[in-house]
Amino acid sequence: MRLECFPIRPSPPELVPGRPERDWMDDFAARHPYRCLPLSMANTTGWDLLCPFGFTAEWDGGLGAEAIRFTPDADATLFDHFAASHFTHGVITFHLGWLFRTPPGWALRASGSPNRFKHGLAPMEGLIETDWLPYPFTMNWRFTAPGQIRFEKGEPFCFLQPVPHGTVEAFEPARASLDSETDLARQYEAWKEVRSLFNARMADGDPAAVRQAWQRYYFRGEYPDQADKPASHVNKRRLAGLPEAPAPAPALASPSPTPGVDYRNWSAVRAAGPSKDGD
């Protein structure tokens, strides 16, 4: 399948496969969080868009567009085409510089980069039907309190993840009984027994358990009481990167915000149609 990426300005932000590393994970003794496979898999199941330059933004707590003051780094070009206080109310809007197209039934989930935190600012998530959308969308972050934040050059500001939104409604939650005669129940009881024993050995300072440090059943995709492994297990994500353009790609026209529209009034925004990069 293809994730088609159409540049709508000459030098759009770089799109790269998500990377497993996180500074806060590195800071732990023995980089302990990397033992949690779900964390690393979430970090790498999608693509990051990277800031083309650094900047700071400060919010004074007001609700107008002027309440956020931006200070781009010296190498920033056309900053207002990248980030702005578009929706007001302490929201920073990033223009992605790309138009995306996914296969039928697939959408793009746009969010902050997983397990990457920014004090004072929270990413807003969106699910976009990119299997038909003929215009771009934006990535938005909202201040959680008045103050100053910073994005560095090369720092991810948006994480894109294809989602099969056309099939999710086919799922129906069903309450089930963990019957002791089922294979699932036997596997659960086997895991619970070996896990309790290992934790007890660790608590007692057993040298072999201390050397082992942690059980790797999930990381390796192993059952606790049998040799075969689940065929569906994945412990490393290998996403394709975006090939470099053979020549400068022609930029599509990017419309300006609708004149005279009060973007503090959401009904007026809706009535005016899509924003600069869609709404």
pLDDT given at position 186: 87
What's the CA gap between 115 and 158, in Å, rounded? 13
pLDDT given at position 183: 85
pLDDT given at position 254: 52
pLDDT given at position 256: 52
DSSP per-residue letters across 16-66:
EE--S--HHHHTSGGGGGGG-HHHHHHHHSSEEEE-SS-EEEEE-S-SSGG
pTM check: above 0.85 = no
pLDDT given at position 215: 81
Question: Which helix (H) or strand (E) covers residue 223, if one does?
Answer: none
**Tokens 């089930």 belong to residue:** 176
| Intervals of the chain under pLDDT 50 | 258-277, 279
Instruction: Spell out the domains of the chain, with CATH numbers in brackets.
Output: 4-168+244-272 (2.70.40.10), 188-236 (no CATH)
pLDDT given at position 251: 55
Residue partners of 77: CB distance under 8 A and separation at least 6: 53
Residue partners of 4: CB distance under 8 A and separation at least 6: 100, 101, 102
